[in-house]
Amino acid sequence: MSKNEINEANVVSRFFGDVFDNLKKGTADRIIKQIKQQKFPPEVIKSIEQLNKDSEKLRKTLEKLKKYNKKK
């Protein structure tokens, strides 16, 4: 993997960091709960829940990548 690709992954990581990492897990869950209580359209709720899941998956993948690159 080239250094440029790692930097791109870092940019993606920072983006999702700004969105969800700075929010504690409980905070993201509370926000999702609130939009459900406010009767947002189901497709909006589903999209936000999926974004939350995808960001967690990406965060884990990027952590593995960091650990892998440190071993080299």
Position 4 scores a pLDDT of 46
Residues of the chain with pLDDT under 70: 1-25, 72
- In the numeric block, the tokens 């969800």 are attached to 20
pLDDT at 43: 93
Confidence at residue 22, expressed as pLDDT on a 0 to 100 scale:
57
In total, how many domains does the chain have?
1
Domain span holding position 40? 3-71
pLDDT for 46 equals 92
